[in-house]
Every structure is written in structure tokens, then in C-alpha cells.
Amino acid sequence: MKNKKGYILLECIISLTVIMILSLSLYSILLFSNNYKQIVEDKVELYEQGQEMTLQINKLIENSKGIINIKDLSGKTIFGNTNSYINVKSIKCKYKDEDNTGVKDKEISYKSNKKLFINTLNNGGNSEAGGYEIGDYVDNISIMITDNKISIKLLLSKNDEKYETDFKSYIRDF
């Protein structure tokens, strides 16, 4: 009969090596899975934000009676057709007319904190306090105007993920 008193040093080293390899493999798989999960969540959130902003902007522009004015990032007012996309910070839409004097005009405004808002305009054409946020993670909003069609491009980003959406709205008067 063989008398076994314990592990020998070689058996201990081999056991520890196998345990370390398995532990590091599991850790790597969990780390990769967690990173991939975060990337997918960021992409989904950007997609959902883009779709919601598209819906809100389309509804605002197409239900309006026309565009009052559009201001680019430098504050310059844009009139008429444009040859290419221009980054903008404000699109003011006309809702008030002779028949609807109680209705207020509205504005889509891009803020430097990467948020997009819809504001109500006062009688002087300036934004009233408040408004509501329709989107987050906006890097820029750019437009191109061709006759009665306004093409809008939204660029969004969160962490390292980017999403761009391009859509068209039809305007009554500009």
C-alpha cells in the first residue's frame, strides 16, 4: 500500500496554474461581455433619441404655417435655398396668423450642452423661459433647404458611439 501524505510541489504549481488560467479567461470573457453590453446600450439609446427627435422635428415643422427664420451657429440668418448642409442653432416656425392670434410660434433650438429643445416664442420673437427637451447627445443639427423641402441631419454621440440620421420635412412657406 502506498502512503500518500500530501501534494508534491509540482502538483501544487500545476493546480495553481490551471486555476489562474481559468480565472483570467473568465475575467476576460466577463470584461468583454460588459463592454459589449455598454456599446449596444449606447447604440440603442442613440437610435431611440434620433428617432424621437426626428418625429418631434417633423411634427413641428410640417404642422407649422411656415419657417420664420433659421440661424446658423454664428448667429447669421439663413434665407432661401442652400447648396449644402449648414450647421444651425435655431429653426423658428410660424404658428400664429390672423385667424389664430392666441397661438404662439415655436422654435427648435440647439444648446451647447448637446441638447435639443422646443421653445415657445413670445410676441417679440424671443424664446420664452422653459420649453421642453426633445433630445440629448446632439453634436450638431444641420439643414439643407431646397424649395419647400428642408433636409435635416442630426449627429449624435455618446461615449465612443456615433449615430447620424437624415430626414426631410416639407415646409409651407419660407
pTM as predicted: 0.79
Rounded distance between C-alpha atoms, residue 147 and residue 90, angstroms: 19
Task: Tell whether 79 is covered by a domain.
Answer: yes
Is 72 part of a structural domain of the chain?
A: yes
SS3 at position 172 = coil
Number of Cβ within a 10 Å radius of residue 29: 10
Judge whether 30 lies within some domain.
Answer: no
Classify residue 35: in a domain, yes or no: no
User: Is residue 143 domain-resident?
Assistant: yes
* Residue 140 counted as domain residue: yes
Q: Which domain holds residue 138?
A: 40-170
Asked if residue 104 is part of any domain, the answer here is: yes
Please give the span between the terminal C-alpha atoms of the chain, in angstroms, as a whole number. Answer: 101
Q: Look at the chain and report how many structural domains it folds into.
A: 1
For every one of its 174 residues, what pLDDT tens digit does the chain have, with 9 covering 90 and above? 556 666 688 888 999 999 999 999 999 999 999 999 999 999 999 999 999 999 999 999 998 888 888 999 888 998 888 889 999 999 999 888 777 777 889 999 998 899 999 999 988 878 888 788 998 999 999 999 888 889 999 999 999 999 999 999 988 765
Residue 96 within a domain = yes
Element (H, E) at 133: strand 132-135
